[in-house]
């Protein structure tokens, strides 16, 4: 509906928006810097934020930025299966034929990680999205699976991403072994604290009939089409609302 009104070429906030077309707002840049830090240091990082703030998008941008000669990415959203599927997926992602028993599977995954890092000089990067779905037993497993105490430096990067209550969960006593090993906690700001609720459509993904949306500045929800600019990396739902209200307000005037 508003796509025609704003002369948009594409649907804003689409899942397939290319990271190269990212709206480089502060929330996005800060998330990328935090992820970069974990990439450089190696170890476990935590990325949290309300739905739609751009966590998965930032993870995709990280993934795109990694060179295959230095990093091997295994992306695994938890919502796609049970925990055994998750471990099998990790083994498969590392090029292994998954072992049947969990204890063997863990050893297999750990050895594959060490081989990749030490022998081939490639760091495996595990990106686990939707981790707020993780059950307690699974979080405890993660603490065991990614424990490489014998190594002087971590041979892997693990990014855990999810909704804000994931952090609260990790602070419970039973998850201290995992929480203590998290070297970076980053919370992406939500709509109210982020780029501003009026924040709008994005640079290359969306062009208005009057030049690029990013040339304009958001002045809030209003009747003027120029009131909508830049994506709301703050919240895609707010972004949609801004566009719908803006379009109907403008139509109402004529
Ligand atoms: N910096 C950005 N530039 C352009 N588009 C963005 C940006 N950040 C987010 N988006 C858009 O917003 C949509 C929602 O972002 P994303 O799916 O990353 O949110 P999320 O935090 O993972 O939400 P959820 O918790 O519901 O999974 C994306 O599909 C993308 O189109
Ligand atoms: Mg997501």
Calculate ∠ Cα 184-79-202, nearest 5°. 65
Q: Which atom of ligand 1 is nearest to the CA of 60?
A: 18
pLDDT in tens, 170-226: 999 999 999 999 999 999 987 533 343 333 344 333 444 433 343 333 323 333 333
Percent of all residues in the chain with a pLDDT value above 90, rounded to a whole number: 50
Nearest residue (by CA) to ligand 1, atom 9, is: 54
For residue 125, what are its two tokens? 């990067």
Task: Give the closest residue to 46 by CA, choosing from 145, 138, 129.
Answer: 129
Q: Is 105 in the pocket of ligand 1 (CB under 6 A)?
A: no
Predicted confidence band of residue 19 (pLDDT cuts 50, 70, 90): confident
| Cβ 234 under 6 angstroms from ligand 1 | no
CATH 3.40.50.1370 fits 26-187, yes or no: no
pLDDT, position 241: 60
What DSSP string runs through 19-46?
A: GGG----HHHHHHHHHHHHHHHH-EEEE
CA-CA distance, 107 to 126, in Å (whole number)? 17
Is 52 a residue whose pLDDT tops 70?
A: yes
Atom of ligand 1 nearest to the CA of 28: 1
The CB of 14 under 6 Å from ligand 1? The reply is yes
Query: pLDDT category, 251, cuts 50, 70, 90?
Result: low
Percent of the chain with pLDDT over 70: 67
Q: Ligand 1: which atom is nearest the Cα of residue 13?
A: 31
Q: Is 60 exposed, middle or buried (0-12, 13-18, 19+ CB in 10 A)?
A: buried
What ligand has the least distance to the C-alpha of 61?
A: 1
What is the distance between the alpha carbons of residues 38 and 47, in angstroms, rounded to a whole number? 11
| pLDDT tens per residue, range 115-156 | 999 999 999 999 999 999 888 888 999 999 999 877 778 999
Roughly how many angstroms between the first and final C-alpha of the chain, as a whole number?
17
Residue extents of the structural domains in the chain: 2-16+195-253, 26-187
Residues in the chain: 254
pLDDT for the residue numbered 101: 94
């Amino acid at each position: 509906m508003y796509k025609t009104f704003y002369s948009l070429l594409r649907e804003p906030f689409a899942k397939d928006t290319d990271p190269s077309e990212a709206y480089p707002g502060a929330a996005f840049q800060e998330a990328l810097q935090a992820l970069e830090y974990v990439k450089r240091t190696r170890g476990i990082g935590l990325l949290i934020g309300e739905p739609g703030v751009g966590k998965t998008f930032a993870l995709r941008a990280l993934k795109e930025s990694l060179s295959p000669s230095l990093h091997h990415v295994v992306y695994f959203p938890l919502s796609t299966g049970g925990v055994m599927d998750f471990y099998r997926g990790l083994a498969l992602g590392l090029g292994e034929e998954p072992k049947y028993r969990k204890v063997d599977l863990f050893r297999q995954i750990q050895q594959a990680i060490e081989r990749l890092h030490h022998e081939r000089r490639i760091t495996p990067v595990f990106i686990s999205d939707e981790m707020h779905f993780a059950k307690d037993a699974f979080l405890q497993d993660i603490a065991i699976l990614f424990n490489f105490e014998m190594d002087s430096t971590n041979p892997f990067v693990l990014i855990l991403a999810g909704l804000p209550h994931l952090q609260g969960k990790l602070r419970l006593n039973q998850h201290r072994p995992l929480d203590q090993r998290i070297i970076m906690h980053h919370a992406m700001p939500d709509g109210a604290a982020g780029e501003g609720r009026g924040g709008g459509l994005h640079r290359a993904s969306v062009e208005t009939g009057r030049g690029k949306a990013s040339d304009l500045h958001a002045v809030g929800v209003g009747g003027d089409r120029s009131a909508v600019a830049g994506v709301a990396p703050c919240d895609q739902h707010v972004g949609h609302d801004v566009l719908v209200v803006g379009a109907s307000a403008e139509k109402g005037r004529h």
